[in-house]
Amino acid sequence: MIIVTGAAGFIGSCLISKLNQENFNFIIAVDDFSYPEKEANLVGKRIQERVDREDFFDWLDQNYQEVEFIFHIGARTDTTEFDRQIFEHLNVEYSKQIWNRCIDYQIPLVYASSAATYGLGELGYDDNESLIPQLKPLNPYGDSKNEFDIWVLEQERKPFFWAGLKFFNVYGPNEYHKGRMASVIFHAYHQIKKSGQMKLFRSHNPDFADGEQMRDFVYVKDVIEVCSFLMHHRRNSGIYNLGSGKARTFLDLAKNTFYALDLEPQIGFIDTPADIRDKYQYFTQANMSKLRSIGYEKHFHSLEDGIADYVTNYLSKGQYL
């Protein structure tokens, strides 16, 4: 029996697909199931039971003996939300309760951290655990993720295997419900289909030309491969980066979305919204050597290959993973 929190969300639902492919069918899906727009993410998946997020700890206290692994993917991920109490409840305190039960019940744990913890990247993008207390995230979401990482590293008692994954810019199927928080590729596709052109954020940083802002975009299929590897590996506990390891420009992203639609690029620029302009990351790139050092050898999709697969096989067909 495997528990996935955030099961109806983007990465959680893709992870369930991967687990089903590996013949893990006793999945306990934990989420707030009151959002009908997320329901399609779970259609056709083999799930043993759905458990409401707020009922989960009572459920686990009664059923822990059957649980083999927990993937704690669920979180409030809205980077424009500034109510710190929401993040404290859902991203920090909730995660601490899962951590402590994994210790008490001897359950291995993989949980979602975030590259948002790196802030402007003043200290680089190395998953060196000694640097984590010095990181300066740019918003309450990033703060909450870093606060939990710091707390984890301070704990004397730990699950016998645990891993925190700092997700970089994840894109791919099953993000239809995410609205403003969906990936740039998702928004590019819909903009291009609607208007034949794509508007990117103008640079407000003299070190970067318009469209030359760079991010580490990682395909969700690669993310779930790493999750599966860690579930089987169960050694080398720690906090790991999870990106492609290669920063790419937003211009590259936009052009490849046009190419996937067999269209000539038509790209313009608009000002970055004022509410995020001062907290905008101009460069992110995951150092992936730590994950590689513990034996992860699989290839990551290039931006070209990831966008081509996403646009052709999912967005253009309205398909889910």
- The confidence score (pLDDT) of residue 281 equals 86
Residue 74 is assigned to a ligand binding site: yes
Residue 101 is assigned to a ligand binding site: no
Residue of 178, 199, 246, 279 marked active site: 178
Residue 170 is assigned to a ligand binding site: yes
pLDDT of 192-241, one tens digit each? 999 999 999 999 999 999 999 999 999 999 999 999 999 999 999 999 99
Residue range(s) of every CATH 3.90.25.10 domain in the chain: 170-217+245-285+301-320
H-helix or E-strand spanning residue 166:
strand 162-167
Residue 26 is assigned to a ligand binding site: no
Residue 178 is assigned to a ligand binding site: yes
Residue range(s) of every CATH 3.40.50.720 domain in the chain: 2-169+218-244+286-300
- The confidence score (pLDDT) of residue 100 equals 98
Q: 2-169+218-244+286-300: what CATH class?
A: alpha beta
Is 178 catalytic? The answer is yes
Q: Which architecture, in CATH terms, is 170-217+245-285+301-320?
A: Alpha-Beta Complex (3.90)
Long-range contacts of residues 230-237, Cβ cutoff 8 Å, at least 24 apart: 230/110, 230/163, 231/2, 231/69, 231/71, 231/108, 231/110, 233/294, 233/295, 234/108, 234/161, 235/161, 235/294, 236/294, 237/158, 237/159, 237/161, 237/162, 237/163
Read off the pTM: 0.95
Residue 38 is assigned to a ligand binding site: yes
Residue 145 is assigned to a ligand binding site: yes
- The confidence score (pLDDT) of residue 80 equals 66
Is 141 catalytic? The answer is yes
Query: Could you tell me which residues come within 8 angstroms of residue 38 by beta carbon, excluding any fewer than 6 positions away?
Result: 8, 9, 13, 31, 177
- The confidence score (pLDDT) of residue 200 equals 94
Residue of 141, 171, 310, 314 marked active site: 141
Regions of the chain where pLDDT drops below 70: 77, 80-81
pLDDT of 260-300, one tens digit each? 999 999 999 999 988 888 878 899 999 999 999 999 999 99
